[in-house]
Structure 1
Amino acid sequence: MKTKKLTISSLLIAIGVIAGNIIFIPVGVAKCFPVQATINVISAVLLGPGYGVAIAFCISLLRNVLGTGSLLAFPGSMIGVLLAGILYRKTKMNLLAVVGEIFGTGIIGGILAFPIANIIMGKKVGALFFVAPFLISTIGGSLIAFFILRVPRFKKTC
Structure 2
Amino acid sequence: MTAVDEKPVTTGRSMSQVVTDTVRTFRGQVPEAITAALVDMSTGMLLAVDTIDDQQPDEQLDLLAAATFDLFQGRNVSIIRDVFADRHTQSDRHYFQEMLVNSDDLVHLFLRSNRHQDLVAVVVCKRVANIGMLFAQARVVMKQMDADFA
TM-score by length of 2: 0.39
Instruction: Judging by fraction of residues, say which structure has more strand.
Output: 2
